[in-house]
Structure 1
Amino acid sequence: MWAPSHKEAAPDSIADKASRGDQECQDWDAFFEELNNLAAKGDALGVKTLVAQWTKCVGKHGAKEASCAAARSGQSEALEALLDAGVKPFIGRNDPEVNPLIHAVEGRHWECVVLLVPRALKYNFSTLLLQEGMMEFVVAGDVETMQLLVDQHKIPGNAYLLCGALLAGPNEKSREMISLLLDTVKDLNEVSSLEPGEESGCRKGWQQFAPIHAACRAKQHPLQEHLVEHLLRSGAVLSEWGKELSLKTSYAKRLPLHYAAENKEMPLKLVEKLAQAYPEALFAHVNDRAGRDVPSQCAKKHSEELQQSLEKLMYEHICSSYDELKDADGEFLRLIRMALLFERVRTLEQSQLGGRKASEVVEALLPKKLEALSSGAARDFAEEVQRFAEANPRVNLGREEAGKIKVKSMADIGSVLRSDFWELLKLLEVCADVPNLGEILRQELDARISWVAGVCSGEKKIRSDAARYGMFIVAGLISEVLAGKASGDADSGAAVLAGLAAGVSREHLRAVAEAYSQELCIPSGWNLLELLENGLKGEGIEQIVFSGGDLVIKQLVPKESPCFEWIQGLFENTFLKRYTRDRKKGKVPEALELQAVERVLNCGSWLEYATKRKAVSSDLSEKGPAWTGELRTDVCTKGTAEKWFVSEEFPSGVNEHWLYHGTSMAGEEGITEGDFRLNLAGSNAGTLYGNGVYLAEAVSKSDEYTTPHGETELRTILLCLSCLGRVNYNDEEKRPDGDELQASCVSGGFHSILGDREKIRGTYREIIVFNEDLVYPGYICRYSRVK
């Protein structure tokens, strides 16, 4: 046991240093070890006595760890003693080493939780943590506890809790619980992610819902009608898609009206109210994919009456829209599309509808519109490019999440642009046998691509956005071709799209690809032109999206390729059977078996990385590299490492290495289609060396931070190209000062930290960077643990 010396000591003795909080004192580790033990045992008196012997200890990292030890064990009196003594844990940080709230909520130690609530409500992260912890009371119908937390401790409800209450099903306290939550929820349109389990109220599969989705999907809920009407009055967004992630890891997207139409227990009049509030939903396909059911077809499975009612509403909307039609190109075609879709899905006889036939809308509008489009007159698309740029801005992928727009198909952005071209594409999804439609679409496509190619060859200011727009058109075509190929749909609409894709001019495509590659510093090894040409044929691309304003392409790496063998060799060579506490008592696997690899070509993220790498090269030419050495991932034991990340102006001496980063399925998508987020640092383990992006040279270290994909055995580790620059090597035996190390990289001349815990504790070396632009996620590695 640590104890201060009672003997007289010289001025510079260890006892004097300890009493002053001198960091040179070698006994402070023993002091904090004892403080942690007392806190974990709940010895509040012992905690007070020990802290009184060295009052400056309350500002040290070890005291914050002691608060976590108390919270982890549910020792509220010891935690209160530490807080009263002046310990200020980092409540707003997602770091389990210094945030006791994480442990208190996880362990359901509510006496500890309430001690931390006043501090927690100052931070969004910790407020959300409290709300997530409250879900168990919501699902259990424990209104008394919820009232205590909401009324006395002032923890507000949120959309996540409201969704949980709805999806958990009714109970005798449902009315009180719903009323309590509705009074405190500020944003009823907030979309929340719910994982399957009794505690979330989500019974089947991962879901991403706003309350309106949950209210429409809820079964046998006595407050359903009241809730839906309340949400409608409160301005619920009915155009937002709810998502359900099945065990097959494919999204099933639905609008609130889809859920309502499928819900056989929902009153017909209530479904009609939803349809009347947002009639566009009547013409929307499940999963936003042509060929899937529209709401009337969803209702067909359980109620012919509801099906026919929704069909009548479709008809009424077409007729009223026709009467109100103005001279707007996009509106003409949109109305034609709705009319054609209605004629395809309706089961009602014309005598049941009365008045005009919906097909008359097509007969009246389509010939005139197609004749105007087929004129072939030269046009300027600058205005359309501007609307595209405004709707899909280029943002810093790691820092501007709120401004990021993800576009997975041409239809996504087409709903914003509302131009002839986009509406013609959607019209094709509904009816491919419209006379001359394919030829007109080809003309529209060629006109845009040739115009963009001309702009990219010139010096106009619009060149950057025009190149992005051209890339988006090509990417949209590829995504449609890939979707048609994956579904096996061989109908004429898919054939027309495939024909359009194959007919894109190579000369025009080259001009656009070259201008885009030049602007984003794309290495020639990416072979972007060849990649796009193959994609237009439905080959060589696994997925293509627009994210953060730029192109993201994913390619499957063949198992028989030298690249796959290289990564397989890295997995074998860098696996170390070592246990650390980050495994949270889990067993170390015998090995990691690589199952699949995807190459990531994120153009926007690459530009950020290449720009930062060039700046690091300049810094190193002035200051030198500090630490240089070999990492485990530098050794190639199988296959051949690819060179497609090498630029013609590759800066030398930037200390660049391939390193691992373990993540979840959601993290895989977020990082590869966006970027690393420093505000999420420490989410899985902690921030021993500061608030940065944590990387590893050993694959077994990164494995500690992965989670399985649903109920499958697959997990994800990203293999990242990492520019370490000037490395601050740290092998301190005592706990490092994370804030000081972080400052050394943010403003002290270093670019990264190498924490040598292998030397100190016999575990692993970790590498940390504090600028997300220093890391590029090059490969998605999906693997399983060998037990």
Structure 2
Amino acid sequence: MFGYLSKAMDSMTREGVDALRAGVEDFKDDVSSGVMSLADSPSRVRSLLTRQMDDALARHDSHMVNQLLDNAMANHLMGPQAPSIIRSAAQQQAKRQLRDAIDSADSKRLKGALVAAKRLNATELPEFTEAIEKYKAIRKLPVGWDVNLMVLNREGARMVAQLQLDDPSVCARFQRLLDLTHRKVYTRDRMGQPVPERLRLLTVAAVTNDESWGNYAARREAIRREIDADISGYTRYDVDTMARSSDAESDAGESAESIALALADEDFASPLMQEVNEVFLFHGTSAANAEKIKTHDFRINLAGSNAGSLYGRGIYLAENCTKSDEYTSPLADGVRHLLVCRVALGRVHYTDAKEDADPRGCEDACLKGKYHSILGDRKKCRGTFREFVVFDEEQTYVNYILTYRREDP
């Protein structure tokens, strides 16, 4: 096998270097095609890569170093069990890339360097921690977000983590929110199923999604500036997910308002921006769509697909858990999924029309007019629920995923 490389080791002339690279490619071809025996090829690969890396480092050939590191990853020779010279080269490469990204203060380069350091198994470097803090500051991520975990859990091009919240006090707070926003009102969207007596919480997960949060925060700030420039038509709306409790409810525990403020103050969230009508709202979905929405944002063609589009083709959200429960799909064991979303409602176009609304008119009010969302008050005109609709995916951020079961009458 080393015959492929003998021509490269004879000389360090330009021709020798080119021959070495050609030898590497020939060797890679033989490994992939199975010319070497399965019994001894790993040790041969290890030996060859070690010798080549030693030579590439001595010649300061960064191109070859990178190529050999790629080879090492392809052959599972990266990490604690890798040859020391491979580990050293990986750390040097990651350190250099992280330092350049930190000095650039460019979020894209920082993200790329963090991901590259993960692949090179160099996440213990001080520069990795420094790059994380720099990235969080530039992207304005909530203080408690674990960017290290998000890098390690990276899904495709996104840095995402789903954190299970097992603290009994946090779970009790979410159960209280479900109880406070429960209204036993039947609508035709239940398609004959009874309204459950209660939604019994099973689990809570916080979602930290770097790209989605950045897009949401940027859109929220744009809405704030629009409203500051023209305050006409702006009204602050209260929602049941953030309502003050009655005296009787207060005796039983926290109000929805205090719960919402507490949830927004958690490390994995951030304070609500009242000047843009930022609120928590529910969105019911299936387990599969909950996962897609968590990692790939809302898609308008998914929203409202179970129940039509009374107020236009947008993302439908609710202040009452029983309204969003209508659109959930159970798993075989009866477990259902609700999303708790941060929503920047902005300037709200209100309608309490008793007859069916004009869906195109609602869309135009937001997509062509000065409004940012629709409030369809079916509670007032039909005695059912108020519905909230946005037409821009970036006005929503999935902050929490709840699993629960219905407790039926």
TM-score (norm 1): 0.43
Give the drift of 1:421. 3.1
Structure 1 gap segments, 5+ residues each = 1-317, 340-354, 385-418, 478-499, 536-540
Task: Find out whether 1:523 has 2:142 as its counterpart.
Answer: yes
Q: Deviations over 1:438-481 (max 9, x none)?
A: 52442243123211221123238xx544322223245558xxxx
Q: Identify the match of residue 704 of structure 1 among 317, 326, 331.
A: 326
Give the drift of 1:659. 0.5
Q: RMSD across aligned C-alpha pairs, in angstroms?
A: 3.5
| 1:659-670 equivalent positions in 2, closer than 5 A | 659-670=281-292
Give the drift of 1:694. 0.3
Tell me: CA distance 1:331–1:626, structure 2 relative to 1, closer, same or farther (3 Å): farther
Give the drift of 1:680. 2.7
The answer (yes or no) to whether the contact 2:46–2:83 under 8 Å persists in 1 is no
Structure-1 residue corresponding to 2:124? 504
Give the drift of 1:685. 0.8
Whole-Å separation in 2 of the counterparts to 1:543 and 1:782: 25
Q: Deviations over 1:75-95 (max 9, x none)?
A: xxxxxxxxxxxxxxxxxxxxx
Whole-Å separation in 2 of the counterparts to 1:568 and 1:543: 31
| 1:599-748 equivalent positions in 2, closer than 5 A | 599-624=206-231, 626-635=234-243, 636-637=254-255, 640-643=262-265, 644=267, 645-646=269-270, 653-709=275-331, 711-748=332-369
The answer (yes or no) to whether the contact 1:656–1:724 under 8 Å persists in 2 is yes
Structure-2 residue corresponding to 1:495? none
Q: Deviations over 1:500-559 (max 9, x none)?
A: 56x611x2113321343244332334253xxx2xx4xxxxx8982234x33111111114
Tell me: CA distance 1:519–1:668, structure 2 relative to 1, closer, same or farther (3 Å): same
Give the drift of 1:652. 5.5
Where 2:163 maps in the other structure, the secondary structure is: strand
Whole-Å separation in 2 of the counterparts to 1:524 and 1:453: 21
The answer (yes or no) to whether the contact 2:114–2:151 under 8 Å persists in 1 is no
Task: Find out whether 1:327 has 2:11 as its counterpart.
Answer: no
The more displaced of 439-448 and 653-662 is 439-448
Where 2:353 maps in the other structure, the secondary structure is: coil
Tell me: CA distance 1:655–1:770, structure 2 relative to 1, closer, same or farther (3 Å): same
Structure-2 residue corresponding to 1:514? 133
The answer (yes or no) to whether the contact 1:456–1:515 under 8 Å persists in 2 is no
Q: Identify the match of residue 370 of structure 1 among 34, 37, 50.
A: 50
Structure 1 vs Structure 2: percent identity of aligned residues?
A: 29
Number of aligned residue pairs: 373
The answer (yes or no) to whether the contact 1:333–1:424 under 8 Å persists in 2 is no
Tell me: CA distance 1:474–1:669, structure 2 relative to 1, closer, same or farther (3 Å): farther
Task: Find out whether 1:448 has 2:93 as its counterpart.
Answer: yes
Letter in 2 for 1:662: G
Give the drift of 1:664. 1.0
The more displaced of 363-372 and 596-605 is 363-372
Structure-1 residue corresponding to 2:114? 471
Structure-1 residue corresponding to 2:246? none
Give the drift of 1:380. 5.1
The answer (yes or no) to whether the contact 2:241–2:319 under 8 Å persists in 1 is yes
Letter in 2 for 1:626: Y
Task: Find out whether 1:427 has 2:75 as its counterpart.
Answer: yes
| 1:476-555 equivalent positions in 2, closer than 5 A | 504-505=124-125, 507-526=126-145, 528=147, 532=148, 535=149, 544-547=153-156, 549-555=157-163
| 1:4-43 equivalent positions in 2, closer than 5 A | none
Whole-Å separation in 2 of the counterparts to 1:653 and 1:475: 40
| 1:236-315 equivalent positions in 2, closer than 5 A | none
Moved over 6 A (4+): none
Tell me: CA distance 1:369–1:681, structure 2 relative to 1, closer, same or farther (3 Å): same
Give the drift of 1:629. 2.4
Letter in 2 for 1:372: Q
The answer (yes or no) to whether the contact 2:115–2:151 under 8 Å persists in 1 is no
Structure-1 residue corresponding to 2:84? 439
Structure 2 gap segments, 5+ residues each = 6-19, 244-253
Give the drift of 1:651. 5.7
Where 1:607 maps in the other structure, the secondary structure is: helix
Tell me: CA distance 1:670–1:658, structure 2 relative to 1, closer, same or farther (3 Å): same
The answer (yes or no) to whether the contact 1:593–1:783 under 8 Å persists in 2 is yes
Letter in 2 for 1:728: H
Tell me: CA distance 1:328–1:357, structure 2 relative to 1, closer, same or farther (3 Å): closer
Whole-Å separation in 2 of the counterparts to 1:566 and 1:577: 21
Q: Deviations over 1:357-387 (max 9, x none)?
A: 4546556554232122246556658x97xxx
The answer (yes or no) to whether the contact 1:333–1:420 under 8 Å persists in 2 is no
Where 1:596 maps in the other structure, the secondary structure is: strand
The answer (yes or no) to whether the contact 2:310–2:359 under 8 Å persists in 1 is yes
Whole-Å separation in 1 of the counterparts to 2:152 and 2:195: 33
Give the drift of 1:577. 1.2
Whole-Å separation in 2 of the counterparts to 1:737 and 1:725: 21
Whole-Å separation in 2 of the counterparts to 1:453 and 1:770: 38
Tell me: CA distance 1:545–1:761, structure 2 relative to 1, closer, same or farther (3 Å): same
Whole-Å separation in 2 of the counterparts to 1:504 and 1:427: 22
Give the drift of 1:673. 0.3
Tell me: CA distance 1:760–1:695, structure 2 relative to 1, closer, same or farther (3 Å): same
Whole-Å separation in 2 of the counterparts to 1:734 and 1:611: 36
Give the drift of 1:626. 2.4
Whole-Å separation in 2 of the counterparts to 1:782 and 1:605: 22
Give the drift of 1:708. 1.4
The answer (yes or no) to whether the contact 1:552–1:600 under 8 Å persists in 2 is yes
| 1:99-498 equivalent positions in 2, closer than 5 A | 327=22, 329=24, 332=27, 336=31, 357-359=37-39, 361=41, 365-374=45-54, 376=57, 419-428=67-76, 437-459=82-104, 463-473=106-116
Whole-Å separation in 1 of the counterparts to 2:393 and 2:278: 15
Structure-2 residue corresponding to 1:591? 198
Structure-2 residue corresponding to 1:30? none
Whole-Å separation in 1 of the counterparts to 2:23 and 2:404: 52
The answer (yes or no) to whether the contact 1:695–1:766 under 8 Å persists in 2 is yes
Q: Deviations over 1:260-283 (max 9, x none)?
A: xxxxxxxxxxxxxxxxxxxxxxxx
Whole-Å separation in 2 of the counterparts to 1:565 and 1:335: 60
Whole-Å separation in 2 of the counterparts to 1:614 and 1:518: 17
Where 1:661 maps in the other structure, the secondary structure is: strand
Give the drift of 1:578. 1.1
Whole-Å separation in 2 of the counterparts to 1:692 and 1:444: 51
Whole-Å separation in 1 of the counterparts to 2:46 and 2:152: 35
Letter in 2 for 1:619: E
Where 1:721 maps in the other structure, the secondary structure is: strand
Give the drift of 1:670. 1.1
Tell me: CA distance 1:598–1:628, structure 2 relative to 1, closer, same or farther (3 Å): same
Give the drift of 1:753. 0.6
Structure-1 residue corresponding to 2:175? 568
| 1:36-115 equivalent positions in 2, closer than 5 A | none
Give the drift of 1:334. 7.8
Q: Deviations over 1:695-739 (max 9, x none)?
A: 000011111111113x22111111000000001111111211111
Whole-Å separation in 2 of the counterparts to 1:338 and 1:567: 56
Give the drift of 1:420. 3.5
The answer (yes or no) to whether the contact 1:617–1:652 under 8 Å persists in 2 is no
Q: Deviations over 1:550-588 (max 9, x none)?
A: 31111111142x433322211111111111111111121
The answer (yes or no) to whether the contact 1:336–1:362 under 8 Å persists in 2 is no
**RCO greater where, 1 or 2, for CA within 8 Å and sep 6 or more?**
2
Q: Deviations over 1:391-429 (max 9, x none)?
A: xxxxxxxxxxxxxxxxxxxxxxxxxxxx53344245338
